[in-house]
């Protein structure tokens, strides 16, 4: 998650920052590496809204459009 040192590298003073966002995931399906757009849902003119890492127990959702998410809080911590 975002507090992991890999994703939120601390500043020189040790402070880290993380956004909490509201995200519209909608209808989702299994994702694959290198996807640039969501796959077709049912009809050729309908796409899934997002993809996940694991359909049975998703822990990561990927959305493809900026309008699907907005920052709600900016958390600073040490």
State the residue for tokens 């601390």: 10
Within 8 A by CB and 6+ apart from 57, the residues are: none
- The whole-number pLDDT of residue 3 equals 79
Q: Please give the angle made by the CA atoms of 30, 27 and 18, to the nearest 5 degrees.
A: 80
Please give the average pLDDT of every successive group of 10 residues along the chain, which has 78 residues.
81 93 96 94 90 97 96 94
- The whole-number pLDDT of residue 65 equals 96
Q: What is the pTM of this model?
A: 0.78
């Amino acid at each position: 998650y975002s507090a992991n040192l890999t994703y939120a590298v601390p500043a020189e003073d040790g402070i880290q920052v993380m956004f909490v966002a509201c995200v519209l995931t909608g209808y989702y399906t299994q994702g694959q590496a290198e996807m640039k757009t969501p796959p077709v849902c049912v009809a050729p003119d309908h796409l899934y809204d997002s993809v996940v890492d694991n359909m049975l127990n998703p822990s990561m959702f990927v959305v493809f459009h900026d309008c699907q998410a907005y920052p709600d809080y900016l958390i600073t911590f040490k």
